[in-house]
Amino acid sequence: MLGCGTATFTEPDDYRTNVPGAAIDLVLTGSEPLRARVTWINLRRLNLVRLEESVPRIAAISLAPALLFVSFPLSRHPQAIWNARPLQRGEMAFHSPGEHFHQRTCGVCRWGMASLTAGDFAAYSRALLGTRLASPAAMRILQPSSRATADFLRLHNQACRLVQTKPAMAAHPEVARALEQGLIHALIRCGGEDSLRGHESGGRQHAEIIGRFEQLLATEHDRPLPLPELCAALGVADRTLRTSCTQVLGMGPVKYARLRRLNLVRSTLLRADPRADNVGMVARKYGFTELGRFAAAYRAAFGEMPSATLRRTGFVATDAADFA
């Protein structure tokens, strides 16, 4: 089914729920306001997404299980971290079906995804390479030749720019067919050239621990959890949890848990009714009982007082100047 679109968001909840093919939980790690742009195009077989973000954040990403995804950085600097692995422009992450992974950024970031069904991926690889490229059991880092990745990234950029500037042309059947043919050939070539050089992303133990850590925080978001209790619940040593959090999340477990609860407060305040809700009620819901310290921590995290957030509403914009 042909379709395409682009939109720019200023609130994390609006952004994270509008990324095609992925469920995303965001924890903002900088105090600047978010601006994020999503550009997507669904071709007959291939789906493309381009994502542009203005602030540092940690994302827990769950991919749709019915598709095989390749994700990749579009910026040279600063590098983004896929699980515990910095990915350079020209490298790709080949994901297992329905994979859950973390991605961390430290500033303005541009990255993309491409997806096919497993059946289409196998059929195209047999037709173009003479061999079937199997889906990985865990995230695999692809390192194709510079020419192969340059061709794919050029075509991906052309397709997304066409959506942003001339969407009617991008949706034209003949244009879409030509784009899809070139992109699929380039993508399969990247996977085929890498078949002997690709390797698992590493840090699988760290990723597994952080996955369980996130599940625990999702069920215990109404109170601060001390480190000994976290370690006991996860069945890991203090040093192991600290190391995994530092590698994947870029900070210690207690700091991340607190920042995650602050982000939950902000999300709730943005959806709240100022006439019926108040900051203290929402803060206490997520385990912040000392409201003075909470307000100071909130302002340090998001650059405004929680009462100001409660009075605001999110909106969708169209200006992409912050990504220049």
The full DSSP string for 66-130 is: TSEEEEEE--SSSPEEETTEEE-BTBEEEPPTT-EEEEE-SSSEEEEEEEE-HHHHHHHHHHHHS
Beta-carbon-side half-sphere exposure of residue 188 (alpha carbons within 13 Å): 23
> Is residue 210 very low, low, confident or very high in pLDDT (cuts 50, 70, 90)?
very high
- Alpha-carbon distance 27 to 177, whole Å? 38
> Is residue 1 very low, low, confident or very high in pLDDT (cuts 50, 70, 90)?
low
User: Which pLDDT does position 183 carry in this prediction?
Assistant: 97
**pLDDT for 211-230, tens place per residue?**
999 999 999 999 999 999 99
User: Which pLDDT does position 77 carry in this prediction?
Assistant: 81
Instruction: Check pLDDT > 80 for residue 199.
Output: no
- Which of residues 108 and 78 earns the better pLDDT score? 108
**pLDDT for 21-69, tens place per residue?**
999 999 999 999 999 999 999 999 999 999 999 999 999 999 999 999 9
Classify strands 47-53 and 3-9 as parallel, antiparallel or unpaired: unpaired
Q: In the structure encoding, which two tokens stand for residue 107, read together?
A: 């500033």
**Phi, psi for 93 (deg, rounded to 5):** -105, 120
Handedness of CA 324, 164, 95, 250 (dihedral sign): positive
User: Which pLDDT does position 196 carry in this prediction?
Assistant: 41
> Is residue 123 very low, low, confident or very high in pLDDT (cuts 50, 70, 90)?
very high
**pLDDT for 133-192, tens place per residue?**
888 888 999 999 999 999 999 999 999 999 999 999 988 999 999 999 999 999 999 988
Mean pLDDT of 13-20: 95
Q: How many residues does the chain have?
A: 324
Instruction: Check pLDDT > 50 for residue 321.
Output: no
**pLDDT for 267-305, tens place per residue?**
999 989 888 889 999 999 999 999 999 999 999 999 999
Residues β-bridged to residue 116: 68
pTM: 0.90
Dihedral, 88, 62, 8, 272 alpha carbons, nearest 10 = -140
Instruction: Check pLDDT > 70 for residue 255.
Output: yes
Domains, in order of start, for the chain? 3-200 (2.60.120.280), 223-311 (1.10.10.60)
User: Which pLDDT does position 201 carry in this prediction?
Assistant: 57
Mean pLDDT of 105-122: 95
Location of structure tokens 């405004």: 304
User: Which residue in 23, 181, 223, 190 sits closest to 92, CA to CA?
Assistant: 190
Where is average pLDDT lowest: 107-116, 291-300, 305-314?
305-314
User: Which pLDDT does position 324 carry in this prediction?
Assistant: 39
User: Which pLDDT does position 200 carry in this prediction?
Assistant: 62
User: Which pLDDT does position 281 carry in this prediction?
Assistant: 94
Tell me if 270 sits within 8 A of 313, measured CB to CB.
yes
Residue 236 CA, distance from chain mean position: 27
Handedness of CA 310, 311, 313, 317 (dihedral sign): negative
Percent of the chain beyond pLDDT 90? Answer: 81
